Amino acid sequence: MLRCDLAPVKSEGPKLVPFFKATCVYFVLWLPTSSPSWFSALIKCLPIFCLWVFLLAHGFSFLGAHSSARKILAGLIFSALGDAFLIWQEQGYFVHGLLMFAITHILYSSAFGMKPINVCAGLVITAVSALCYLLLYPYLSGPFTYLVAVYIALIGFMGWRAIAGLQLTNDLWTWTKLSACLGAVLFMVSDLTIAVNKFCFPVPHSRAIIMATYYAAQMLIALSAVECQDAERITKADME
């Protein structure tokens, strides 16, 4: 029987209100990317800051007891640094942002863990990642030829570990694992849109697509960090 209790997910809703408000502020202000500033960096990073608060709101004891939650929090910190660097990407800081997000994916991969392996999911992600690189390769030059390859490998690995954790055919299925899976997929969509728009050709409404999928991805991944706490609640409920 699938574990589909919505109560734990609903209980997290109020803690995410600041994130939704900050995201609305970003899209309402829609500051021009042609004029980078510390204010525009703050507005772009604000939703991620709110996700820091979302995780911290669960208490330091929770973060101290669960390494996966700490790794996701660390990933969100590096994500904010990456966001800030990308504000000034035209001034030569694109690679810096790329590095910050590469570290983010390593942290997220570690948080999702290596069990179960799920070879089928790994093969599918490998094929998709290879296809994406083949699409981008003719447009890449210089160091980006290998930097993009490494980055695709890292985000693909992160996506594999998130998808592998979603086991729909047994009792290990949870909403938080679904959140991790959807978050990873949306993150890959966001980054692929960035790559195509930067290296290949202009993507219509690229900024809206990139930021909408990115913020949704980060929220879902942050939500997946409360899995341990949700599991504790379910165990206590079963005991009662």
DSSP string of 1-45?
A: ------HHHHHHGGGGHHHHHHHHHHHHH---TTS--HHHHHHHH
- 62: nearest Cα among 238, 195, 231: 231
> What's the pTM?
0.91
d(CA 212, CA 152): 20
Residue 162 pLDDT grade (very low, low, confident, very high; cuts 50, 70, 90): very high
Residues 6+ apart with CB under 8 A from 50: 16, 18, 19, 21, 22
d(CA 53, CA 7): 21
Give residue-wise pLDDT tens across range 1-60: 344 455 556 678 889 999 999 999 999 999 998 889 999 999 999 999 999 999 999 988
Give residue-wise pLDDT tens across range 208-236: 999 999 999 999 999 999 865 544 444 34
pLDDT for res 227? 65
> What whole-number percentage of the chain has pLDDT above 90?
79
Mean pLDDT, the chain, rounded, equals: 90
pLDDT for res 9? 60
> What does the CA dihedral 115, 121, 122, 124 come to, rounded to 10 degrees?
-170
Question: Is the Cβ–Cβ distance between 189 and 210 less than 8 Å?
Answer: no
